[in-house]
Amino acid sequence: MRSAKQKHEEHEEHEERRRDERVSSAGATKRGFRSLFCPSCGRRTSDLIEGLCRDCFAARIEIANVVPSKILLKYCRVCDSFFRGGERVSVERAAEDFVTREIMKRLQCEDFRVQVRDIKEMRGSISVVMRVSVVVSGVEKEEEFPLEISLRREVCEVCSRFVGGYYEAIIQLRAEGREPTEDEIRIAREIAFSSLREKDFISKEKHVRRGVDFYVSSSACARRISREIVRYLGGSVSESPKLYGRVEGRNVYRVSFSVRLPPH
């Protein structure tokens, strides 16, 4: 026969077991709904991001679909350069900058990387393969997709001035009591061309009775060249601006730089 005490202990044990079962079954139910299965692929995982497993979450991140697949670049056939606005750019940089801007505008991500994988030039357009990886809610996603670059063929501002024979300044290369020698002219020409910066050009070289005239795109550039010639070959330089006309309400001058090489 069991004593009342034993009965009481058994009853208590039973009650404890029932409590444990309730706790564990409630816990399992909770975990089962919230974090044991990915509702999209059914995979068992405890690592859910916004309710999905990593793979399903990553699959829902769209990169190529949110970035426009075409851009337009200006191309100048005279200097074989690409432009965005007035700025000379490489195809690579233009593509990377474009995709970077679009990602920042259209995707909520913690981090991203944009890379050009391949560039293929075809007639009239360029096909670029982009590789982009983004990090969204701690999940990384990488995609490769094509970007078509259409070309708007134009003669750029610098080249159209050059082609039109534009100049703002003339360097008049002369020598004191003699004519400049062939060597001096060659050196002056080399100095002139090596002093050109991005938008500078020499539109004409004219041989005149007592020397040579160089027609230069800007007076700042002509000044730089003149000083360099004098530094290298000796002599002196003087500047004389002449009013050429008015453009958009301001006076435009053409400046003559008279470079006089020393006598022999």
Q: What is the contact surface with Zn ion in residues (CB under 5 A)?
A: 38, 40-41, 53, 56, 76, 78-79, 156, 159
Q: Write down the least CB distance from residue 126 to Zn ion, Å.
A: 17
Closer Cβ to Zn ion, 75 or 257, answer by number:
75
CA pair distance 18, 99, nearest whole angstrom: 61
Q: Write down the least CB distance from residue 190 to Zn ion, Å.
A: 23
CA pair distance 226, 257, nearest whole angstrom: 7
Contact 163, 201 (CB under 8 A): no
Q: Write down the least CB distance from residue 37 to Zn ion, Å.
A: 9
Q: Which amino acid is at 162?
A: F
Closer Cβ to Zn ion, 135 or 159, answer by number:
159
Closer Cβ to Zn ion, 112 or 201, answer by number:
201
Closer Cβ to Zn ion, 154 or 205, answer by number:
154
Strand ranges (E), 104-156 = 111-122, 125-136, 139-153
Closer Cβ to Zn ion, 38 or 73, answer by number:
38
Angle, in degrees to the nearest 10, between helices 219-233 and 182-194: 140
Q: 235: helix, coil or strand?
A: coil
Q: Write down the least CB distance from residue 55 to Zn ion, Å.
A: 5
Token output for 88? 């000379």
| Cα distances (Å, whole numbers) of residue 218 to 169, 176, 189, 200, 213 | 6, 26, 16, 7, 14
Q: Write down the least CB distance from residue 75 to Zn ion, Å.
A: 9
